[in-house]
Amino acid sequence: MGRESRQRRRAPSYADVARAAGVSQTTVSFVLNERTDIPLLATTRERVLSAARDLGYRRNSLARSLVHGRTQTIGMLVPQLDSSFSAAIAQGVQEGLESEDYRVLLGHARHDATVEARQVELFLEHRVDGIIAVTDEFTIEHLEDWLQELLMQNTPCVLVDDSSFCGRADCVVSDDFHGVRQVVEHLSSLGHRRIAHLAGGGRVSSGRDRLAAFQSAAEDAGIASEVVVVPSSGYVLTPWNSRVRELMGRSPAPTALFCANDTVAAEALDALDEMGIRVPGDVSVVGYAGFEVGRALKLTSVNQHPQEMGRVAARRLLDRIGNRDLPPQLFTLPVELEPRRTSAQAPN
Amino acid sequence: MGRESRQRRRAPSYADVARAAGVSQTTVSFVLNERTDIPLLATTRERVLSAARDLGYRRNSLARSLVHGRTQTIGMLVPQLDSSFSAAIAQGVQEGLESEDYRVLLGHARHDATVEARQVELFLEHRVDGIIAVTDEFTIEHLEDWLQELLMQNTPCVLVDDSSFCGRADCVVSDDFHGVRQVVEHLSSLGHRRIAHLAGGGRVSSGRDRLAAFQSAAEDAGIASEVVVVPSSGYVLTPWNSRVRELMGRSPAPTALFCANDTVAAEALDALDEMGIRVPGDVSVVGYAGFEVGRALKLTSVNQHPQEMGRVAARRLLDRIGNRDLPPQLFTLPVELEPRRTSAQAPN
DNA sequence: GTGAAAGCGCTAACAA
DNA sequence: TTGTTAGCGCTTTCAC
């Protein structure tokens, strides 16, 4: 048990197996890859297999990839993992890939465009077969920089949660238009007219889409003149608490708050609680795209299906890897309003 | 623009750069790897660099890894990503790796031991430099199968969230002993004696530790004879709702519920709400290790730091990759009770 | 200062 | 039915 024994010894290679079985490397390759197109003596097959087993042979996918020019690996870029949204997408991607044997390289951009670009670079150095990128409000403006290059060199690529590039790359998004519309119709049918929309960021397409959908739905409901939009603060964290206080101090105050996402909704609920305003008695609150949080708070909210988005993205990426000439496509996944406890008939 | 142009053309290699610069591949290698130990004419350096730039050369890490016998890649095994716990660990791992340029291969076991083993196999075929595995109640019994092999071949490996193997492998866990103790002391200091513990699974070490800690803390608080432990159902989803109903129907009923995790706590809150029992007026509820959910519900709970666990695991793995002879170590990270709105003075 | 050549572990023509 | 050989893109020893 000298120091040697603690080193990881070189893993056995075809050469070792070949020597042990008394055949050539080619034969080893044929046997271990189960090449049915090649006729092989059952006895040689056996000899090779048992030699491989005895030596504890394990295929080396690096060498394989080098030869094939294909890594059976995709890169998955996420803005952050500790958000249930990205995490669910990541989970869906893995599920979509599961049947094929594909590996996933994970790149975590932590909302930083430089890190993001570096991760893409690492993916490319690794010669991934394709990339799935979950877009991010904070880096979307720099997406073009690297996406451009991917498209030029025709590297398969699917963008999730933003449709800005839908003519040039595959995109998978939620149907925010109908999601928002359902919210407005829900509130409107409960008699709400003074609806305030605490809006998300306008940089990512989903933010813009939701805002546009809100306004269009308000018009169709004939309440466009009474709704109010509270924009987010752009690059700094929005102080929703004070916004809500200001909003509810108006007269007439809104009877419903439609929040851009469930985190905002949670903050709004806190503010209302502090002000002694009852939900849904005095004011209704609707969230958007929350998972655990929305459910835990029994928040009326729009359910998105991030896991499904991930699955769709993965399937599409595989298709595109198979045929790089597919035209770019936009996948719009349905969402649905789930009324829970925070919305009710408008007061008065 | 024939079909050719749509194919991904072979990426430029050293051979191409060498030809363009009129030097040998060796020189290209020296220049592009910034080998300061090799004396090189500034002019050749320039020629090589500009040729590389012109051709859009990008290093091929597969080939590199093959030569070096090192991939600068680690495998990260998670039971599932759509739980904020694993996701936060994953995030921490990435952060811990960030300074070095390491890649992360993601393996998602979806609570299935077969899938898990397969992912480990994929990691090994990819010749990862090490593995970080987040343990899982549902597969822990089969962990031994593959861990054994990793240890034998001395592949660096760090286990997160279970200490069962702490003598044989590096483990990173939360200090559940003190976490639970803080809960019992908190409740006890509020006058609670009849505390019910809705326990987690006993398969993973953290489950067992929490239970043991609960009982020991109850003894120290002199309330051991009054506490009650409600075990989970083992392999099926525990119907906590009915358990809580049964529990609160007893006489005397407990005045505090200590839940194994925040999801259980959320279910308990629902059940209590349905029964018209007020929290924390009639009964206090304490959760454990929740993040978004616990915070959103304003649940008194014990905060763990999964992100920090991931960081520690990553640092340790890097250390061990650097020196495989380190003795296995157990890292126990602090946790702290955060009293929020669901715990209060015991009634009467 | 720079290059030729061998080799990392595998695959695939082409021979035999 | 199996072996020989070249080559994937890179690093490195050893010459020049």
Q: Structure pTM?
A: 0.93
A15: CB within 7 A of chain D nucleic strand:
no
Mapped onto helix, strand or coil, the DSSP state of residue B346 is coil
**DSSP bridge pairs for A303:** A336
β-strands B301-303, B336-338 pairing:
antiparallel
pLDDT of residue A191: 97
Q: Tens digit of pLDDT for each residue in A277-328?
A: 999 999 999 999 877 788 889 999 999 999 999 999 999 999 999 999 999 9
| pLDDT over 60 at A4, yes or no | no
- DSSP label of B300: B
Q: Evaluate whether B106 touches A104 at the Cβ level (below 8 Å).
A: yes
| Other CB atoms within 10 Å distance of the CB of residue B204 | 23
Q: Tens digit of pLDDT for each residue in B176-213?
A: 999 999 999 999 999 999 999 999 877 888 888 899 99
Q: Evaluate whether A255 touches A347 at the Cβ level (below 8 Å).
A: yes
pLDDT of residue B1: 36
Shortest distance between the Cα of B235 and any Cα of chain A, in A, equals 23
Alpha carbon distance A112, A108 (integer Å):
9
C1' of nucleotide D11: residue with nearest CA: B67
* Residue of chain A nearest B10, judged by CA positions: A69
Alpha carbon distance A250, A195 (integer Å):
13
Q: For chain D, which bases have at least one atom within 7 A of a protein Cβ?
A: 1-5, 7-13
- Beta-carbon separation of A81 and B81 below 8 A: yes
Shortest distance between the Cα of B58 and any Cα of chain A, in A, equals 6
Shortest distance between the Cα of A185 and any Cα of chain B, in A, equals 27
Mapped onto helix, strand or coil, the DSSP state of residue A77 is strand
Q: Which residues contact residue B41 at a Cβ distance below 8 angstroms, ignoring those fewer than 6 apart?
A: none
- Beta-carbon separation of B105 and A101 below 8 A: no
The gap from C-alpha A270 to its chain's centroid, in whole angstroms, comes to 29
Alpha carbon distance B247, B298 (integer Å):
23
Q: Which nucleotide is nearest to B21 (CA to C1')?
A: C2
Alpha carbon distance A274, A271 (integer Å):
5
Q: Is the dihedral of CA A252, A256, A257, A260 positive or negative?
A: negative
pLDDT of residue A117: 95
Amino acid B67 CA to nucleotide C7 C1' distance, rounded Å = 8
| pLDDT over 60 at A76, yes or no | yes
C1' of nucleotide D8: residue with nearest CA: A67
Alpha carbon distance A103, B284 (integer Å):
46
A67: CB within 7 A of chain D nucleic strand:
yes
Q: Which nucleotide is nearest to B11 (CA to C1')?
A: D9
Beta strand ranges found along chain A (DSSP E): 73-78, 103-108, 130-134, 157-160, 170-174, 195-198, 228-230, 256-259, 284-286, 301-303, 330-333, 336-338
Alpha carbon distance B182, B161 (integer Å):
19
B70: CB within 7 A of chain D nucleic strand:
no
User: Is the bond leading into B306 cis (omega within 30 degrees of zero)?
Assistant: no
Q: Which residues sit close to strand C, CB under 7 Å?
A: A 10-11, 13-15, 25-26, 29, 32-33, 59-60, 63-64, 66-68; B 22-27, 30, 38-41, 43-45, 63, 66-67, 69
Shortest distance between the Cα of A225 and any Cα of chain B, in A, equals 33
Question: Minimal CA–CA distance to B191: which of B348, B345, B341?
Answer: B345
- Beta-carbon separation of A8 and B296 below 8 A: no
Q: Evaluate whether B147 touches B123 at the Cβ level (below 8 Å).
A: no
DSSP string covering B177-216, please?
A: HHHHHHHHHHHHHTT--SEEEE---SSSHHHHHHHHHHHH
Burial class (CB in 10 A: 0-12, 13-18, 19+), A274: exposed
Q: Tens digit of pLDDT for each residue in A22-63?
A: 999 999 999 999 998 988 999 999 999 999 999 999 999 999
Amino acid B15 CA to nucleotide C16 C1' distance, rounded Å = 33
Alpha carbon distance B307, A82 (integer Å):
9
